[in-house]
Every structure is written in structure tokens, then in C-alpha cells.
Structure 1
Amino acid sequence: MSPEGILVLKYNRPEVGNATNYVMMKDLLRALHWAIEESTVKIIVQTGQGKFFSTGMDLSSPQWEDDALQVLYEINKLMINCPKITIAAVNGPGVGYGASSIALFDLVYMVSDAYFFTPFVKWGLCAEACSSFTFPSILGRQRASHMILAGGRITAKELELAGLVSKLIPRQNFWQNVLDMAVSLARQPQEVLAANKRLLSVFWKQKLLDANEQELRVFKELLQTSSARAREGRFAEERASRKMNSKGTDQSL
């Protein structure tokens, strides 16, 4: 953590595009709990190591279906209720949860050449991280359907124009620019920041909590389908094929 009170949380599995497995999600949950309780933490910044922000849940993880859904639910709930300012420093493409979770942050800064997509239907899954509510609310129903139903990509520029991204920043000096903005926020009166965050989120909070509950229920239902039972093997095969074809440079879902 920096002397200014900025805590940086980083997805750190670059060899698989920062896909999040059960261990990583548990670590993130513990870190968020600590950051919320720790009085010296003023700003929470989340980013990714390497070329990707995150390519979402690692569906080949053997513990994924057993425990990670509940951990994911708890992380979303913490983000919704977090009293501190949260920043997503999107350093590269976001896929699945790496895209859907973005709207839970207060501020989203993104490199201008990145993109998002959410292949939920392809993998027999449903919308997550409250994106069943946030995407239609922010992007509009048709654009949200393009992402969630059709699995279509949306560029950084489109995301900024739609209002899902706060600001695009050139890749050169991206991280320093994000840190500068975080430091500027950390130097503001924290009680005033917190009061304004409450005002901005008061009408959204219950809808986000409801969406988180509903998505968890639907997710569990879909896990019982034949599509879900066949998913793990197909996911591992596709990742191996893509890694071979791209020599490890593209780990997106």
C-alpha cells in the first residue's frame, strides 16, 4: 500500500490471461474485507498483470462449481456495499467476469486499445456481477444483448461513449496516470468523498443486491444442465488449442 493510502489489488495469473480460479477469488475476498476494515486504506485500485485485465472465471478449475460461485457472490456484495472509492485500472481486454464486474467500481480507467466481451451463453452460463442490471441500465438493452446474448465484442471507445468507462487513457504511462488520479482522490476530505459516494449509489444499491441474488440462483440452476456438464472439458480443450495456435499470446475465452 502506498503512503497516500492507495491499495492496489492485482489479478496475477498472466500465463492464463489472469483467469480467476478459486484460490485467487478467495484471496481477493480476503483482501477486500481487510481493505474495508483498515482505516489507512483510502482508495482501492484493481488491475491486471501483463496484457489482460482478466479473462474471467477459469472454468477448468476443479473447485469452480463447488465453492467459487458463493465466493463470487460475496465479492460482488462487498463491492456493492464498499464505503471506499474503488477504481478499475483496465490495462487490457476484459472477458466474462473481467468485463461484467466493471460496473461495480466507482471509476473505470481503461487503455484505449482494449475491449470487452462476455461469452456466457457459449459456456452455458448466465450474466454475473450484476451485469443483468448494470449492462441494460448503462449500455441500453440492445447493446447489452449484443454482449450477453450474442457474446459480441465492444471496444473501449464504445464503452466510454456509452458511459461504462470513465475515461480512456493511452497505454503509454497508463499506470502512472491512474495512480496520479488515485493520489488526487486520496488527498480529498474522505468524509466528503464517502458522503457523495453514498448519494450516487443510494438508488442503485438495492437493485444491485437484488441482481446479485437473482444471478446466483440462475447460475446454480444452469449448473445442472447438460451444457454445464460438458463445459469443463470443452473449455480446457479450447484454451489448449488457442495457446498452441497463438504461442501463448492470446488467452481470452
Structure 2
Amino acid sequence: MSTAVLSRQEGAVRILINNNPARRNAITPGLYAELPAALAEAQADAGVRAIVLTGAGDFFCSGGDLNQLAKRRAMAPAQRRERLEGLHDLIRAIRNCSKPVIAAVEGGAAGAGLSIALACDMLVVAQNAFFSVTYVKVGLTPDGGVTAFLSEFVSRQMLTEMCLTGDRITGERLHAMGAVNRLVEKGAALDEAVALAERLATGPARASARIKMLCANAFGADLDTQMELEAQLMVESQGDDEAAEGIGAFLDKRTPDFVALSAAPQAH
């Protein structure tokens, strides 16, 4: 039975909970296996249309367990790399999920915990939460894609300061930087994230997956490459039953019903 990740369903929203509250939800080996599996299960379930990722108790994730990381000094470099890929596979699983993944952050996200939060499509953050790239304080360097994620919305100088000092920044400051979608009162992050997920869950699932692909690709692509991908996905979308429903509903002045289309085979 899963212990590193708890799961529950609220309507069309799957809530996945990093379950290590005694250590402020520090990453465990079990999380490497269970979170990607839970995401894959949610992606395969037609009854799940959006996902919320959070931490048990009052903290999102404090990053890697230093007791475990200390043991890696005795390993060969290849063994260290193998362990590291567990984290990177977890990050890829979040990024590659075709359904919207929203992080609900209470307390804070440090080290690889910040990577996990920023890997999500949207962030709902409590005002009192903090974020930090803490690696330098223990003589380590960042991993989990955190430098790539941060570089999407901060300058090189700010990125360098965050990584070289390991200082905390507040949820309010991260919101001002543009990385936080909703800033809420302490204790309200999960409810607000679920409400946002419920809104996304009523949308066109296949179009939403294509939009996620476009948004993920946009930061690293030049204009012509991005427009080519836009063209490919627009051609697909125009032939999709979701577009027929959406356009028809607009012309008929009614609310579209995209949910029913997800389980039905497409007509061509």
C-alpha cells in the first residue's frame, strides 16, 4: 500500500499528497517511485481531469533528506547519478503529464521541493510560505531543473543570487516575480488549488493538453519553431470534436459540455 503518496478524489480532481510530515515532507526513495506512478494512474483515468499536488500537514516539501544525501559520498559517481535520476524522472513525470497539475504550497518549498513546485503548471501559495535554493548552504549544487525553471522568470543576476546565497524568498515576492498564480491566506492553499483545478476540469481535455505542450515549449523555442508547433496543434484541434462542441456552443449561446466528449470516441 502506498505510503509516500496519499491520494484522494474530489469530483474530477485528483489530490496527491507527499506524505512525510514528520520531516516536513522531505523527499524519500518511495516518492521517486510512487509519485510518477500516481501521476500515470491519474493521467490514464478518464474520471480525472486535473491534479493537485500538495504536502501533508502544513509544509509542501523541504527537499532532499540530508541523512540520505550524506551516504552518497561513499558511492561511485555512477551510483550517485543513478540516485539523482530518480528525482529527475519525478520532475519529468510532472512536466510530461497531459493533465493540468497545480501545486498547493503551504509552509515552504526548499531545494528539490522548489523544483517539484515549479515543475507544476500552476502554483497556489500561502502568503507566509517561503522558497529557497538551499544547496549552497550544505556545499551542494542545484538539481531537479530548478535553475531552468527559475530562469524563466528571473534575471541571470537574481538567479545567481538565489543560488549562491540560498536565502529564502517569500510567497509574496515569488508572486511579484510572476511565478505564483494565486496568493492566499495561510491554510487556504489546498482549497484554492482545488477550486482552480475544478475550473480547469470543465475545459476541453485534449485542447488543454495541446496548450500545455505549447506553453512548455515556448520558453526555449524561436518564433518560427513555436509558430510551426502552433500550426500543427491548431490543425489537430480544428478536426477535434472538442472544437465542434466549443464553436457550436458559442454560436448557440449555450455552455459547452466538454466533459462528455472525453470518454466518447471521436467522430471524423
CA distance in 2, matches of 1:139, 1:74: 25
CA distance in 2, matches of 1:111, 1:195: 29
Once the two structures are superposed, what CA deviation does each residue of 1:105-151 show, in whole Å capped at 9, x if it has no partner?
Answer: 11100001111112112223222221222212312222212221111
Which residue of structure 2 aligns with residue 127 of structure 1?
142
TM (norm. structure 2) is: 0.70
Question: CA 1:64–1:76 in 2, change beyond 3 Å: closer, same or farther?
Answer: farther
CA distance in 2, matches of 1:137, 1:175: 25
Determine whether 1:164 maps to 2:190.
no
Tell me: higher relative CO, structure 1 or 2? Use CA pairs within 8 A at least 6 residues apart.
1
Name which of 170, 177, 185 aligns with 1:155.
170
CA distance in 2, matches of 1:131, 1:164: 13
C-alpha contact 2:32 2:87 (8 A) present in aligned 1: yes
CA distance in 2, matches of 1:4, 1:188: 14
**Structure 2, unaligned runs of 5 or more:** 1-7, 73-78, 222-268
Cα distance, 1:155 vs. partner?
A: 0.8
Which residue of structure 1 aligns with residue 124 of structure 2?
109
What SS does the aligned partner of 1:83 have? coil
Cα distance, 1:34 vs. partner?
A: 2.0
Root-mean-square deviation (CA, aligned residues, Å) is 2.3
Cα distance, 1:95 vs. partner?
A: 0.9
What SS does the aligned partner of 1:60 have? helix
Which residue of structure 1 aligns with residue 31 of structure 2?
24
Determine whether 1:143 maps to 2:150.
no
Which residue of structure 2 aligns with residue 93 of structure 1?
108
Which residue of structure 2 aligns with residue 56 of structure 1?
63
Which residue of structure 2 aligns with residue 78 of structure 1?
93
Which residue of structure 2 aligns with residue 245 of structure 1?
none
CA distance in 1, matches of 2:133, 2:69: 22
CA distance in 2, matches of 1:31, 1:108: 19
CA distance in 2, matches of 1:117, 1:147: 7
Which residue of structure 2 aligns with residue 4 of structure 1?
11
Name which of 59, 66, 69 aligns with 2:84.
69
Cα distance, 1:62 vs. partner?
A: 7.3
Name which of 194, 199, 224 aligns with 2:214.
199
Cα distance, 1:172 vs. partner?
A: 4.6
Cα distance, 1:64 vs. partner?
A: 7.1
Cα distance, 1:87 vs. partner?
A: 0.3
The structure whose Rg is larger is: 2
What SS does the aligned partner of 1:61 have? helix
What SS does the aligned partner of 1:46 have? strand
What SS does the aligned partner of 1:184 have? helix
Question: CA 1:101–1:141 in 2, change beyond 3 Å: closer, same or farther?
Answer: farther
Count residues in correspondence. Answer: 207
CA distance in 2, matches of 1:24, 1:110: 22
Cα distance, 1:42 vs. partner?
A: 1.4
C-alpha contact 1:17 1:54 (8 A) present in aligned 2: yes
Cα distance, 1:77 vs. partner?
A: 1.7
C-alpha contact 2:152 2:219 (8 A) present in aligned 1: no
Question: CA 1:79–1:175 in 2, change beyond 3 Å: closer, same or farther?
Answer: closer
Cα distance, 1:45 vs. partner?
A: 0.9
Code of the aligned partner of 2:147: S
Cα distance, 1:89 vs. partner?
A: 0.4
Which residue of structure 1 aligns with residue 21 of structure 2?
14
Code of the aligned partner of 1:147: M
